Every structure is written in C-alpha cells, then in structure tokens.
Homo-oligomer: A and B are copies of this chain.
Amino acid sequence: MSSPSKPPMRDALVEAAFRLFLERGYEQTTVEDIVTLAGVGRRSFFRYFPSKEGVVFPDHERRLAEVTGFLAAGGEGEDPVARVCEAVRLVLRLYTDNPVFSVQRYRLTKEVPGLRAYELSVVWRYERTFAGHLRERLADRPDGALRADVIAAAVVAAHNNVLRSWLRSGGEGDAGAAADRALAYVREAFGDGAGRGDERDEDVVVVVSRRGAPMWRVVREIESALGPGERFPDRP
C-alpha cells in the first residue's frame, strides 16, 4: 500500500491547525503555533504538508490520485464525458462526506486570498486530469483538444456551482442530486456529449443560422465548410 494506515500525527496537525484557524484566524496563526499545540516539532509539519495552505486541504492529494485511477480504469467503449461526470461526483463526495469540516474550510477559503489561490490550483489539477482524459478519447474528432478543454471546464464549473451553494447553505440539502441536475445540463449543452460518440443515432449534425441571406450564399458557405471539391449532389 502506498498509504499504510494514516499517521496519527498528521491528523493531530490538521486538528490543531483548524482549531487555531477558526479561533483566531488563518493569518494570525503561525506554523509555530500549530506544532506547539499539536506537541510536535516544526520540521514535522512540513514533512506532512507542502505548505501552510496544504494543511487546509489534507485529502485532495489522495483523491486526485483516486480520480486519476478511476478515469484510467474506464472501459474503452464508454462515453468519456459520462466517465468524467462520475469522476467529478467523486470529488464532490470528498466534501459531502464531511459536511462540518467542509463548511469550516469554506468559511476560511472565502476570507483568505491565499487559501483561495491554493484551492484554485487544486481544482485546476482536477480539471487538467479531466481534460487529459477527454483529450485522449476525443483526439480523432475535429477540434478534439478544444472540446476536451471546454467540456472539462464546464463540468468543473457545474461541480463548483453546486458545491458552493451547498456550502453556503451550511451543508444542507442533497448536493448529489443537485450535481446530477447540473451535470445533465452540461451534457445536454454539448449534445449530451460532443463526446458521446457512437451511441448517437444521427450520423449527421447540421446547424444553420440564417439571417435574411440569399440561399445561394447559404449553399456557398456550406460547401466551403465541407471542404474543397465537395458539392451538393441530387437526392435519390
């Protein structure tokens, strides 16, 4: 195992840190204060957390690894967008499984700019993981990388929207159901997956926007969109 039973010292540090952060504020608490309360050496703090901000998000590193594994374990024929949506539900669960802790942390990150920045970088790593997964599966599509990036960002934004309003409510309500609704909106927006490759019946998708143009211009635009040499044949 890579994580052979949680060291109790780590938990003691998180415990002590949050006690002090909530009591006197994040910036008014030094690492020295934390390790003193926890009864350990200052050096040990940085053995377990990369920075003072890191102690506020103690579980994300592991969850990121789990998410990566979850995506890699997906079957080949599966809808990658659906897979990513399930993965983001895993992330949401990291919050909803510990409502009190998450709400406390939310109150901190809302106030302290440094913590917001740190959280952004954490979320960014999730998003890049999702985008990477989608990029691989959408590589053969036109603008596959663009689609992957946009869809990943939309999924994360939907997750964040649901999470934030759940946190603002103090951890009340069914965040999971709200996430399902939000993610359904996203998937619908992208044609239920500009990613949903071959399970769609239609093998043709056409979008036409016409604003009083003569029809021959419409035809010309379509032909140029189709590429050189393509012309409209007669119908059977």
Q: Is A11 an interface residue (CB 8 A)?
A: no
**A residues 122-164 touching B (CB-CB < 8 Å):** 124, 142-143, 145-147, 149-150, 152-154, 156-158, 160-162
* CA A142 to CA B182, docked complex, whole Å: 12
User: What is the count of identical protomers in the complex?
Assistant: 2
A142 and chain B: residue at smallest CB distance: B209
Stretch among A24-32, A87-95, A103-111, A217-225 lining the B interface? A217-225
* CA A100 to CA B226, docked complex, whole Å: 36
| B residues in contact with A219, CB < 8 Å | 232, 235
| B residues in contact with A204, CB < 8 Å | 209-211, 213, 217-218, 221
Contact A203 B212 (CB under 8 A): yes
The residue that A225 contacts in the complex, of B142, B157, B207, with Cβ under 8 A, is: B207
Contact with B along A196-236 (1 / 0, CB 8 A): 10100011111111111101111111100110000011011
* CA A123 to CA B47, docked complex, whole Å: 31
Question: Least Cβ distance of A81 to chain B in Å?
Answer: 12
Stretch among A35-43, A59-67, A71-79, A187-195 lining the B interface? A187-195
Closest 6 CB pairs of A and B: A153-B157, A206-B221, A204-B213, A153-B153, A205-B209, A216-B235
Query: Which A residues are within 8 Å of any B CB, using their own CB?
Result: 113, 116-118, 120-121, 124, 142-143, 145-147, 149-150, 152-154, 156-158, 160-162, 165, 181-182, 185-186, 188-192, 194, 196, 198, 202-213, 215-222, 225-226, 232-233, 235-236
Q: Write 28 A-B pairs (CB below 8 A) sorted by A numbering.
A: A116-B124, A120-B121, A142-B209, A143-B182, A145-B161, A146-B182, A147-B185, A149-B158, A149-B160, A150-B154, A150-B185, A153-B156, A153-B157, A154-B154, A188-B207, A189-B189, A192-B209, A204-B210, A204-B213, A204-B218, A206-B218, A206-B221, A207-B208, A208-B225, A215-B233, A218-B226, A219-B232, A232-B232
